[in-house]
Structure 1
Amino acid sequence: MIGCLCIHGFTGAPYEVEPLADYLRKHTDWEVRTPCLPGHEEAGSLKGIRFQKWIECAEQELEMLGRTCSEVYVIGFSMGGMIASYLAAKYPVSKLVLLSAAAYYVNPRQFMKDVRCIIEDKFRGLLEENEVYMRYRKKVTETPILAAFQFRRLVNYVKPRLPGITVPVLIVQGECDGIVPIKSAHYLYKKIGSEEKKLCFLPSSAHLICHGDDFEELAYETGNFLGVTSISQT
């Protein structure tokens, strides 16, 4: 039995990785888990949560998979990518997939493009229909400052451990990501110690890469990397 652990991002929830998790469930008989990290269960619950709790949660989920599975793959999105990297450096993970992994945070160039679109929609009276604006507003209004500090602590905690990753790695990055810059993917590719590693850029995808226009390509690349047999690219 193969197990696959999918870890969502900061201020997010399992829905961020659910499309890819569902794809894997549909095309395999693997045990696929998509836990919710501590403090992410509902709005306002991040207060007082330290980054170690997020790691501990992922470790517990990995341990549960290890009890019944001979191989375990880990997929991490955004901050979840950094947690997944930590697991791959410390535990006998077989393969690692990093989606918009947040070794760096906020892409200034794309962020300014998003801001311009927000301003234009505001003047047109369409602000409430702007998905980027709604996402940023939610993050700003519902994220405690100390929680954001814990996120940065997590990233700094994991970065020195990247050379210790030796398993095959697939790094996927959206080229229209206004949250995680492309340099994050290049940094991970350079620092991760694995001999077998691949960079994949999706031209039309923003930060929520599993919900983007390039999902078919993302699913194909991930499935091919993980050894899913019943896959096809349209």
Structure 2
Amino acid sequence: MFSFNRKKKKALILTIHGFGKQRHQEFDLLCRYLKESGWDSIQFDIYSLKNPEDANLEQWIKRCEEQMRSALKLKKPVILIGFSMGGVIASYLASVFPVQSLILVAPAFRYFDIQKLGSYSLHALRKITAKEKNVPSSLQTRTFMDLVDQYKDSIYHVTCPILILHGTKDEVIPYESSQSIYYDLNTQKKCLLLIEGGKHRMLYDGLGHEKPCFKIIESMLNDELL
């Protein structure tokens, strides 16, 4: 009698970028790192910087849904990784599509709390990327704010395993926002890890937190964390 050990099919990683100039490039280093271990990933842009009027919220969400459907057609399990604004969108996608797990990096669930605290006004948020050309327009900035406001509660409808990474020195989204939503998540498999000294763009800012974050994410992908 023969027995066959079927190798577990690796999931496909769909990345959802944040708001700013880099867009899908925010995940370049992470996807390159994971590729070395055999993980395939999809990166795409939610909006165009060449068209300042590309600021329709429904269109942004539709583009993400189309990428999600295309990923599912490949007949592989799908894991979502969302950064900042992308964390809010990824949470929405995970609440309406079948995904294996959800990984959030500095998710922007409490952007408006930052305004109330006076730490970052809308003007200050835009200045973060204003040193370079081809930054999001004022219309796109408004769409970002509306998107967070409309979809931030989607995270409470997600039932798959969730990993959240947030830097303790995040200068855009306070790590306390991730702490506050963590306790009300609707899943038993969840993990919140605070990265000591990590800033908002810790996946690619060159300050030394990339590799530790990558290793944690890889552990989650390999079902070694929860």
5+ residue gaps, structure 2, are: 1-8
Q: Is the 8 A contact 2:47 2:54 kept in 1?
A: no
State the partner residue of 2:222.
227
Give distance in 2, aligned partners of 1:23 and 1:89. 28
Classify 1:138/1:79 alpha carbon distance in 2 versus 1 (closer, same or farther; 3 Å): farther
| Paired position in structure 2 for 1:23 | 33
Q: Which residue in 2 is equivalent to 1:179? A: 172
Report the equivalent of 1:196.
Answer: 189
Q: Percent identity?
A: 25
Contact 2:129–2:135 under 8 Å retained in 1: no
Change (3 A) 1:99 1:17: same
The structural deviation recorded for 1:228 is 7.2
Give the corresponding residue for 1:164: 157
The TM-score normalised by the length of structure 2 is 0.81
Query: C-alpha separation between the residues in 1 aligned to 2:160 and 2:23?
Result: 26
Do the aligned residues in 2 keep the contact of 1:81 with 1:98 (CA within 8 Å)? yes
CA–CA distance in 1 between the matches of 2:154 and 2:177?
15
C-alpha contact 1:162 1:191 (8 A) present in aligned 2: no
Deviates more, 1:60-69 or 1:99-108: 99-108
RMSD, aligned α-carbons: 2.7
Unaligned runs of 5+ in 1: 116-132, 230-234
Deviation digits for residues 20-56 of structure 1 (CA, Å, limit 9, x no counterpart)? 111111112x3310111122xx3x5242412222211
After superposition, the C-alpha distances for 1:90-126 in whole angstroms (9 at most, x for unaligned) are: 1001100001111123596987xxx9xxxxxxxxxxx
Deviation at 1:207, TM superposition (A): 1.1
Aligned to 2:83: 77
Q: CA deviation at 1:154?
A: 0.9
Secondary structure, aligned partner of 2:191: strand
Show the counterpart of 1:58: 64
Which of the numbers 205, 210, 214 marks the counterpart of 2:209? 214
Aligned residue for 2:73, secondary structure, equals: helix
Distance 2:118 2:213 in 1: 24
How many residues of Structure 1 are paired with residues of Structure 2 in the alignment? 206
Q: Is the 8 A contact 1:51 1:154 kept in 2?
A: yes
Higher share in helix? 1
- Kindly report structure 1 stretches of 4+ aligned residues shifted beyond 3 Å: 106-111, 133-136, 138-143
1:140–1:189 CA distance, 2 compared to 1 (3 A): farther
Would you say the 8 A contact 1:96–1:167 is kept in 2?
yes
For the 8 Å contact 1:204–1:213, the answer to whether it is kept is: no
TM (normalized to structure 1)?
0.78
| Aligned partner of residue 17 in structure 1, secondary structure | helix
Does residue 7 of structure 1 match 2:16? yes
The corresponding residue for 1:120 is: none
